[in-house]
Structure 1
Amino acid sequence: MSGGLPDFSLQGRLALITGSTQGLGFAIAAAYAASGARVIINGRNPDGVARAVARLVAGGGKAYPLVQDIADLNAQEAAFRRLCEQIGTPDILVNNVGIRIRKSLAQASLAEILEIIHVDLVAAIHLSKLAAQGMVAGAIAGRIITMTSIAGELARIDDAIYPIAKQGLAGMVRALAVEYGPHAITSNGIAPGTFATETNAGLMGDPIKSAAVVGRNPLGRWGRPDEIAGAAVFLASAAASYVNGHVLVVDGGFSITY
Structure 2
Amino acid sequence: MQAVARATNFLSRVGMPSPRVDAEILASHVLGVPRGRLALIDGFTADQLAEFDALVARRAAGEPVQHLVGSAGFRYLELAVGPGVFVPRPETELLAGWGVTLITPGTTVVDLCSGSGAIALAVANEVPGTRVYAVERSAAALPWLRRNAEARAAAGDTPIHVIEGDVTDLAVLADLDGTVDAVLCNPPYVPSGVAVPADVADHDPYDAVFAGADGLAVIRPVIARAAALLRPGGVFGVEHDDSHGAAVPALLRADGRFTDIEDHRDLAGRPRYATAVRARGVASEHRGER
What is the TM-score of this pair, normalised by structure 1? 0.48
1 or 2, which has the higher helix percentage?
1
1 or 2, which has the higher strand percentage?
2
What is the TM-score of this pair, normalised by structure 2? 0.44
The one of the two structures with greater contact order (alpha-carbon pairs below 8 A, sep at least 6) is 1
